[in-house]
Structure 1
Amino acid sequence: MDGFFKWSSKWWPGLIPLTVLWAFAAWTSTAPLEADLADRSAAALHGAVLDKTTIAVAGRDVSLGAEAFSEQARSAAVDAVEAVSGVRLVNDATRLVPEAKPFVWSAERDVVRVTLAGSAPLPASKAKLTEAARGALGGVEVSDQMKLSRGAPAHFDEAAVLLLGQIVKLKDGKFTISDSSVSLSGMARELGDREAIAAALRNLPEGFKIAANDLKAPPYVFQVNKDPVASTLTLSGNVPNDSVHAAITAAAARKFVSEKVVDNLKTSIGAPGGFAAAVVPALGALSRLSTGTLVVSDREAKLSGDALYDGAALQIRAGLGRDFPQYWQFMADISVKPAVAPVDATVCQQLFSELLGKAGIRFETGKADIDPDSAGLLDRLVETALRCPASNIEVAGHTDTDGDDATNQALSEKRAQAVVDYLVKAGLPPGRFTATGFGSTQPLVPNDSDEGKAHNRRIEFKVM
């Protein structure tokens, strides 16, 4: 017995290295097998549409974890791994991606980025929508906060890509898809963009509809700046169409006799009703200012600047609003230009001649009614008359040769008197002025053309 214990005590320590060697051999032979099974299982899932896929192998048993986008895709993934040669058992830890009810997706733009949020139906959809946003905005940051969900309506990707193609037209705002309903909110970037977005969304895929469109357009702004230093009248902002554009620039050319018209207008939809009917008389009021600005925004016109004399300021404040279309508002912030230094009779005559050499006082055809387009010129004449208070002035009327002599004589007298009446109404002493008519007896050029006749129809100022 003692011999047995002596013998066993000699071989027992030798079992330890044998055990280690056996374990090492088993591990070195199993590890490559497991790695091979893992690689081939992963290859079997190539092309499967899954999310968060994991594969773990123990011996010849494979544990498969994944989120699938349909029951069919989930079962097909498990079957594909089970069919891998060498796999004994598949531990199925797959599950379906959660379903979103309702299926909501949104794209929101602010001043620095576009945020994509809500649900997307597939990983490829997320990538497509993110790329569409980047492509539409050209470098604007795109934040992807979308999660994967089941339940998307048919043609979801097509509808979302169409919306993202329009997001460049937003200053800020949000596009939302909820199942097959589309909602829009925010502010369009440019005039006309709101209507352009609405037109593009008429091409939404079948089944989609616009549930709400709360997009707002930027104010419809038209602006005119009169700069006496540069002698310019700058038109900027928006007009509704080419015909209104032409009418406004023509009115500006008639009303402003000393300024070069700089036309920076652009045609844009969205003009309020009565736009031209408000802008043209507002231009007339601006023409009576020494310097000033007219801003028309939606149905409100704001006029600011310096009138040439007190009476003009009062008339502009009180009168312009009466000429406006219904529902329009007029605001006037008008001061009076400081009085200019007096001049002698010779300089006064030169100033009158320069003014009337640039443009003539206009009258209604065959009448002595002064055309409103001449208000700015007449106010300049009033200002000049105020600078030579000691001088008397003859206002002379002349006509062309159309009509008989008696009619032309009477018309020339009435037109001269109409100008004197304007000067007196402006606050000048009536005793300083004499109205004289010469009919067609003193032509400047022959009356053998329309241009010549227009040149002969005139009012002249003579300082005495």
Structure 2
Amino acid sequence: MGLAPVLALSLALIQLETGPFEQGLAGRADAVLRERLGEGASAMANGRDVTVSGMIFDESRRSAALAEVAALPGVRRVADALVPPPPLAPFAWRAVRDGATVVLSGGVPSPKVRAALVAAAREGAPQARIVDEMAYASGAPDGFAEKAAAALPLLGRLQSGEAQWRDGELTLAGQAATPEDYQAALALAGPSGAAKARIAPPRAQNLAFAAENDGRVLRLSGQVGSEAERAALLAQARKLFPDVKVADALQAGSGASRFAAEAGFALRALAQLKNGKVALDAGRARLSGVARAGMDSAAVIAAVAPEPGLALDASGVAAGGISPYVFSAEKDDKALTLAGFCGDEDACAKIRAAAQEKFGGLTLADTMRRGTGAPKGFLTAALGGLEQLARLRVGRYGSRDASAQLRGDAVRATEAEAVKTAFVAAMPEGFAVQADVTGAEREEPGPAPAPPPAPSTLAPLAPAPPAPAAPSAAGPIPLSPPAPPSLPPSTPLKAAESCTRRLAERARASVIWFDYASADISPEGFALLDALASEAVKCPQASLEIFGHSDDVGSISHNFAWSWRRAETVAAFLLAAGVARDHLTIQGLGETLPLAPNDSDENRAKNRRIEIQVK
């Protein structure tokens, strides 16, 4: 055999022996690298020389790993070709949920972080397919791994969305699947949250809204179109129901911009009830409960501005009974004023017809309102009171529940007595009746009394009345006949009557107005009350009734409370000014007797008042 064939055979045998040796050496080096450096590094042997290459994610482990490879049996030399992951600036990462697939992409700083993110994605969406398209990169900011792992389970609970790290912050955006997922996603927002959350509420499949007011708590429930709509409804509820606690159980949805207007309409309708509930159902607001005082279902519907496309069903609304049930008719020489509540539509019509028939020569001022809760016999009493009031020169008929009172001045004392007798007889059984009617005594004409003495240096409190001329024999009987010659110009009885009349005139002029939600007396009010008190202390036989009124803003109880407080404030002033306590009575009437319609701020200001009457 020649030399050449022998050399070729020798080289072949050497290569066959060297290949398994290098493979074994490289395999043992790879095992060391996996244990010390993890995924990303590998070894290649060339004879007894080993080259270590790939990525190193922790520089602190480089030296120990290379030394352990160099100590392997058979290794002569180790070449270090390890490099860190390529930089990614700015660092970016993204996870996208689209139906049943979650795709992870962008940079990841190490195999350990990569494994944690994939596990978090599977935890959040266990039924979804997880696609890992992440690439190793350096430059991840502090906190990236923890925040990204916290966002992935919530991403899995969205119908669709994405978690994205960009410009140094993590943002979670998308459409929540359920209200619970929505609230959980919102918990990420804020200073202590892992991410900024731009989560849309779950799409509203069956929007619903309901509210119930028991007089103490207003409970809101259902699903509304958005967080903004929810906040707006809560603000509207607190404004419409200032005296009750608002309990919020609303859930925010998305995709129903018109629903907020319909829910607001339902709240306005509920505000017309003393207590009750309302619910939206298929283009209809169903309202039930007890209406506010003086209102029935028709009045409730009329009080709420219509909402296009939405009907109001108030068939479940019971009329609101009024307490106290007040009615008044006041006559002077120019007008008849009707105020308060007049019963149902038929009763109100009969009262107006009687007023027009019996007071035809006077201007009729009618502010009556229909209202349920009238006592038995109310219409009989009102018509009887009007009939006797028509016989008086001036006067007032008033009723409060089952009590009736007639006050005024007849032409003569005999007429006054006849009016009182007829009034008592006209009142229905069960009514408490009071008649306080006065009239001048009819005297035979006589010579005119002597003129009053010349005034002293101190002027009298009230000037003496002028001496009336004696009527002719054919003339009419005078309304105020002269006193007989044997009597002084003014008897104690007539002085008291004169004092009472002056006090009544002063009281009618002493209407005090108040600011909203206030019982503070204005400087003008103090001046009126001071003049009234000066007149009242001169008339110990007269008493003052103080009636407080309010506008219709707020609940019935709220308005009654303010009317009482205003009456108490005025009474306290009069007491301090010297009026006897047992000559003062107060009554709060709330919004039941408005002077003007409660349809503007200017008119409501006219209704926040105190009126004072003499009895």
Per the normalisation by structure 1, the TM-score is 0.49
- Computing the radius of gyration from Cα coordinates, the structure with the larger value is 2
Scaled by the length of structure 2, the TM-score of the pair is 0.39
